[in-house]
Amino acid sequence: MDKKRVYTFGNGLAEGKAGMRNLLGGKGANLAEMNLIGVPVPPGFTITTDVCTEYYEMGQEKVVSLLKEEVEKAIANIENLMRSKFGDVENPLLVSVRSGARASMPGMMDTILNLGLNDEVVEGLTRKTGNARFAWDSYRRFVQMYGDVVLGMKPVNKEDQDPFEAIIEEVKHAKGVKLDNELEVEDLKELVKKFKAAVKAQTGKDFPTCAYEQLWGAICAVFNSWMNERAILYRKMEGIPDEWGTAVSVQAMVFGNMGDTSATGVCFSRDAATGEDLFNGEYLINAQGEDVVAGIRTPQQITKIGSQRWAQLAGVSEEERASKYPSMEEAMPEIYKQLDELQTKLENHYKDMQDMEFTVQEGKLWFLQTRNGKRTGAAMVKIAMDLFRQGMIDEKTALMRVEPNKLDELLHPVFDKSALKQAKVLTRGLPASPGAATGQIVFFADDAAEWHAAGKRVVMVRIETSPEDLAGMAVAEGILTARGGMTSHAAVVARGMGKCCVSGAGALNIDYKARTVEVDGVLLKEGDFISLNGSTGEVYQGKVETKAAELSGDFADLMKLADKYTRLQVRTNADTPHDAEVARNFGAVGIGLCRTEHMFFEGEKIKAMREMILAENAEGRRKALAKILPYQQADFKGIFKAMAGCPVTVRLLDPPLHEFVPHDLKGQQEMADTMGVSLQYIQQRVESLCEHNPMLGHRGCRLGNTYPEITQMQTRAILGAALELKKEGIETHPEIMVPLTGILYEFQQQESVIRAEADKLFEEVGDRIDFKVGTMIEIPRAALTADRIASSAEFFSFGTNDLTQMTFGYSRDDIASFLPVYLEKKILKVDPFQVLDQNGVGQLVRMATEKGRAIRPDLKCGICGEHGGEPSSVKFCHKVGLNYVSCSPFRVPIARLAAAQAAIEE
Ligand code: PEP
Ligand code: MG
């Protein structure tokens, strides 16, 4: 037989299971699994992700012919189980068609419900159910969804309403009603007619009437949606490969819109925003799934406690809540009990927080989906630690459950408490995704992207968001919506992105055409500042000050747990006492790179520095350096003090000299006056310092070797600071690092300057201090000759920024001109300056470490390029046996967790 492309499930049986997510997608695999563990699921089948690949290789026609027999058989299986017939007029089977990739991509691809209806079937469905309103409501939804997804009915301009919604508004207006469910059967019939006419007018296509034609159209549309713009963007953000493809699940429809004993909803076994161990979710009586997420009707809470919390935030009284918005627990207690039992069963089975969709059809509960829920970084940490404490998972699993990069969210600034007290609360919405956001109001995704590119911070304000808004949401500081609940598109996507979001702020009156939002008489325009508190749902007018986050609670516990497993140490790159302190609070055990050039850039220092560079001879340079010395020494003292007791690697001056000299006339005149020389002299010197390839020019130890006075001054400042602290009883461990070494002799000459100056200083002071002299390994030649270099150098620090530059031959400063094309064409999978190229640059790191340690077994090796804070690169550093990684302060917890995970994976 040809390979199997379709897997059926239903009635407690399934051809697939949870472990087959690569082939069946997350949704398909879990639908099969739910059948196997006794959770009620409507019967159906899943077309594999391999078929998606075939679809893109062979095209639509070929794939449909490959699938035809299996799909028809699988439909027959559903017909048997449901005792109805696909396309039949008197006893019709209707199906849903949904996407489902290996990794969940909520809302990014397409879904079609109620498929199988046409003008005759709808009459048959009316007769069968005796419920004309339901039949016609289902039909108008189907035409609307199919028209949008398969036939491509979209708004023409971004300010325009959805073409179908516009027709609904028009019909409601003519009838003088406000809500969709106030429309009567005749109105629904009218809508269907108008929808079809609009489809014909805009797309030139007739609406298909044959059930199988509809089905193939829908299946192909789901495959097509794998390559829609937002799905591609989402995959890029989440690092999901394009090759994976999506599966397609086709299932018998069950209906939440059959009357007051029917309902539909979305629920979570724990709180996806905070991680609190509290079952929660939203539902609507007499509705279909998309109503809950689309924010058209205000969904109600599933649990009573959730409902009461909601009412408090929404300013709704208890009486009003209980009568108008009762929870499912109150309104459908029997069903609620079943739902609660099944959600517990699913969480226990998967041992993780579940995000579930369900429908109640005339008093019977069905599950349509379960998946490990998307969550914020804070929730990720809390849920992992709670599951561990509750005995559901072990320590190692808890550590592996947290994505290191997600910790970044816990380090984002929070609102300053005193600033909050002063701030004016404009309105409130739901606390959909925690965090603090301040920015300028924009209403459209493309404006958000444009303003962001121009360096502005923006908050996206929308009536509701849709998957088309993804690119805007990705760059916004926060998202505010007028409609939609905790499971709305905005809320779910924002939580996935770790972005602050306040949803369903009903007091907002947004006018897209005028680009304004009015709240209780306050009118805000595009560009005005607004602030959001995603943890409380509060919305403030103007800017609110923020302060840095802290490492505490579950986060601190997780880090402690990480330390139990890590072998790799984590240091920080820091150039100021403040950065050193921040990093130390995040658990850094030393400084791996202190870039001294950053200390020369301000005030009087830059003047003295310029004087040194522009001087005619060594004598002039020494005079200028003597002015810099006290500044440097004070700077080092501050840093050593902040890192007392820990090693601090100070790198000697590295950047090209022309970066320091003035290129403007005013600055040049100032230097001429200061130094008592002519403007012409200064200009000639500045010109002579210009280089064609400054990155490959007069920098690093080439400076120290041509101007040893600089090395002497810096050595004196470093060790002088350490000696002063020694007198104060503060312990220091200075490590002096030579940058950009390529040749052993380059290093040796610098080393002898350093040691000679140290001896001189120690003699002058009458005291000494232990220190090490080592080198950056950032030039391929240094890596290739690492055994020779290790004969003199006491430690290696891999400067993978320069090492990447010189291994690939890509300029660090100019890669932007071709990188996007390289990524697009998949010549490069990722930016090698962000993610360490393990096959190339990584091999140099591995080889140099091995060669170096062959000569000097206790050679301390670390990495201090940007890769030191990137999880996959950190894991590589663990594998090759480095002693430490060094990264910017806010990446320290991320590196610590990645280091623990590397040890566990080993
Ligand atoms: C490096 O090259 O990786 C490095 C850390 O040094 P810099 O980025 O300062 O050149
Ligand atoms: Mg470098």
DSSP string, 218-230: HHHHHHHHTTSHH
Ligand 1 proximity of 865 Cβ (cutoff 6 Å): yes
> Is 515 flagged in the annotation as binding?
no
Looking at all shown ligands, the one closest to residue 864's CA atom is 1
Same fold, 49-250 and 411-545: no
Ligand 1 proximity of 887 Cβ (cutoff 6 Å): no
> Is 131 flagged in the annotation as binding?
no
Report which protein residue has its CA nearest ligand 1's atom 4: 799
Nearest atom in ligand 1 to 797's CA: 5
Per-residue pLDDT at 565: 96
* Integer Cα distance of 227 and 230 in angstroms: 8
- Predicted confidence (pLDDT) per residue in 110-135, tens digit: 889 999 999 999 999 999 889 999 99
Interval between CA 778 and ligand 1 midpoint (Å)? 8
Nearest atom in ligand 1 to 865's CA: 3
Per-residue pLDDT at 497: 79
Nearest to 431 by CA among 353, 386, 378: 378
Per-residue pLDDT at 154: 82
* Integer Cα distance of 355 and 373 in angstroms: 5
Q: Which of 650, 651, 654, 807 to mutate to test the pocket of ligand 1 (most atoms within 8 A of CB)?
A: 654
Using only C-alpha atoms, the chain has a radius of gyration, in whole angstroms, of: 32
Ligand 1 proximity of 779 Cβ (cutoff 6 Å): no
Helix (H) or strand (E) holding 426: strand 425-428
Reading the block at residue 889, the tokens are 């302060």
Ranges of residues in the chain whose predicted pLDDT is under 70: 1, 292-296, 602
Nearest atom in ligand 1 to 805's CA: 2
Long-range interactions of 660-663: CB distance < 8 A, separation 24+:
660/600, 660/606, 660/609, 660/610, 660/613, 661/610, 661/613, 661/614, 661/685, 661/686, 661/689, 662/610, 662/686
> Is 141 flagged in the annotation as binding?
no
Ligand 1 proximity of 799 Cβ (cutoff 6 Å): yes
Place of tokens 């998967």: 350
Q: Which of 776, 807, 836, 891 to mutate to test the pocket of ligand 1 (most atoms within 8 A of CB)?
A: 776
Per-residue pLDDT at 296: 63
Per-residue pLDDT at 1: 53
Q: Which of 802, 803, 877, 888 to mutate to test the pocket of ligand 1 (most atoms within 8 A of CB)?
A: 802
Q: Which of 864, 877, 884 to mutate to test the pocket of ligand 1 (most atoms within 8 A of CB)?
A: 864
Interval between CA 609 and ligand 1 midpoint (Å)? 21
Sorted by where each begins, the domain ranges of the chain are 49-250, 261-374, 411-545, 565-611+621-652+707-903
Interval between CA 853 and ligand 2 midpoint (Å)? 22
Interval between CA 739 and ligand 2 midpoint (Å)? 7
Report yes or no: 585 and 548 within 8 Å, Cβ to Cβ: no
Reading the block at residue 228, the tokens are 């829609």
Nearest atom in ligand 1 to 864's CA: 5
> Is 651 flagged in the annotation as binding?
yes
Interval between CA 779 and ligand 2 midpoint (Å)? 9
Fold for 565-611+621-652+707-903, please state it.
Answer: TIM Barrel (3.20.20)
Place of tokens 């026609």: 61
Cα 98 from chain centroid (whole Å) = 25
Ligand 1 proximity of 694 Cβ (cutoff 6 Å): no
What is the three-state SS of 261-318?
Answer: CCEEEEEECCCCCCCCCCCEEEEEECCCHHHHHHCCCCCEECCHHHHHHHHHHHCCCH
Nearest atom in ligand 1 to 593's CA: 5
Nearest atom in ligand 1 to 802's CA: 2
Interval between CA 597 and ligand 2 midpoint (Å)? 12
Query: Angle, to 10 degrees, between the axis of helix 377-389 and the axis of helix 553-565?
Result: 70
Report which protein residue has its CA nearest ligand 1's atom 6: 799
> Is 799 flagged in the annotation as binding?
yes
Report which protein residue has its CA nearest ligand 1's atom 8: 801
As a CATH number, domain 49-250 is 1.20.80.30
Ligand 1 proximity of 800 Cβ (cutoff 6 Å): yes
Q: Which of 659, 778, 807 to mutate to test the pocket of ligand 1 (most atoms within 8 A of CB)?
A: 778
Q: Which residues are catalytic?
A: 489, 864
**Which SS3 state, helix, strand or coil, does residue 490 take?**
helix
- Predicted confidence (pLDDT) per residue in 770-828, tens digit: 999 999 999 999 999 999 999 999 999 999 999 999 999 998 878 888 998 998 898 99
* Integer Cα distance of 359 and 286 in angstroms: 10
Helix (H) or strand (E) holding 647: strand 647-651
Ligand 1 proximity of 595 Cβ (cutoff 6 Å): yes
Looking at all shown ligands, the one closest to residue 800's CA atom is 1
Ligand 1 proximity of 864 Cβ (cutoff 6 Å): yes
Interval between CA 778 and ligand 2 midpoint (Å)? 6
Nearest to 497 by CA among 228, 830, 871, 238: 238
Looking at all shown ligands, the one closest to residue 797's CA atom is 1
Nearest atom in ligand 1 to 595's CA: 9
Per-residue pLDDT at 661: 87
Looking at all shown ligands, the one closest to residue 805's CA atom is 1
Q: Which of 571, 573, 593 to mutate to test the pocket of ligand 1 (most atoms within 8 A of CB)?
A: 593
> Is 280 flagged in the annotation as binding?
no
* Integer Cα distance of 65 and 49 in angstroms: 17
Residues near 634 by beta carbon (within 8 Å), at least 6 away in sequence: 721
> Is 801 flagged in the annotation as binding?
yes
Q: Which CATH architecture has domain 261-374?
A: 2-Layer Sandwich (3.30)
Compute the half-sphere exposure of residue 19: CA atoms within 13 Å on the CB side of its CA.
Answer: 0
Nearest atom in ligand 1 to 739's CA: 6
Looking at all shown ligands, the one closest to residue 651's CA atom is 1
Interval between CA 636 and ligand 2 midpoint (Å)? 20
Report which protein residue has its CA nearest ligand 1's atom 1: 799
Interval between CA 492 and ligand 1 midpoint (Å)? 38
Ligand 1 proximity of 742 Cβ (cutoff 6 Å): no
Report which protein residue has its CA nearest ligand 1's atom 10: 802
Nearest atom in ligand 1 to 799's CA: 3
Report which protein residue has its CA nearest ligand 1's atom 9: 595
Interval between CA 690 and ligand 2 midpoint (Å)? 19
Ligand 1 proximity of 593 Cβ (cutoff 6 Å): yes
Interval between CA 798 and ligand 1 midpoint (Å)? 9
Residues near 341 by beta carbon (within 8 Å), at least 6 away in sequence: none
CATH class of 411-545: alpha beta
Interval between CA 614 and ligand 1 midpoint (Å)? 25
* Integer Cα distance of 174 and 13 in angstroms: 50
Ligand 1 proximity of 654 Cβ (cutoff 6 Å): yes
Report yes or no: 438 and 477 within 8 Å, Cβ to Cβ: yes
What is the CA angle 740-745-746, rounded to 5? Answer: 30
Dihedral in degrees, nearest 10, Cα atoms 700, 706, 711, 712: 180
Cα 302 from chain centroid (whole Å) = 29
* Integer Cα distance of 304 and 301 in angstroms: 7
Looking at all shown ligands, the one closest to residue 804's CA atom is 1
**Which SS3 state, helix, strand or coil, does residue 323 take?**
helix
